[in-house]
Amino acid sequence: MGVGTDRVCYLTTTGRRSGRPHRIEIWFLEYDGAVYLFSGGGDRSDWVRNLRRHPDVSLELPGRPARSYSARVLDKPDDDLRRRMDARYYGTGPQDALTDWARRSTVVRLTPCV
């Protein structure tokens, strides 16, 4: 299944060791005034490790210019977030079991900087 360009964003973090910008393409969910990103690689993903060290990131959402956000890894993300993300990318319904990806992913909340 292909994911259209309107369903990916670009996250730029600051390297935890190098201090250089690192840009990735990633799926996202806009919900309740924030943007949520899911890391299937959990805390081992470089981008998660980078934002833990440097929580100020840049995010480019489809059709919008880059904007500054503050990132925070959620310790206990709401199952509703997991369901919404799963439905967006895998088409699961409210009664369906979560995909393994949605169930085990590390969830990051990005809030816009003022």
Tens-place pLDDT, residues 35-87: 999 999 999 999 999 999 999 999 999 999 999 999 999 999 989 999 999 99
Q: Domain of 48: which CATH number?
A: 2.30.110.10
Sequential DSSP letters for 2-52: ---GGGEEEEEEE-TTT--EEEEEEE-EEETTEEEEEETTGGGSHHHHHHH
Six token digits for residue 11: 């996250």
User: How many domains in the chain?
Assistant: 1
Cα–Cα distance, 89 to 52 (Å, whole number): 25
Q: Is 62 helix (H, G, I), strand (E, B) or coil?
A: coil
Q: Which domain holds residue 102?
A: 5-112
The one-letter code for the residue type at 49 is R
**Whole-number mean pLDDT of the chain?**
94
pLDDT at 100: 95
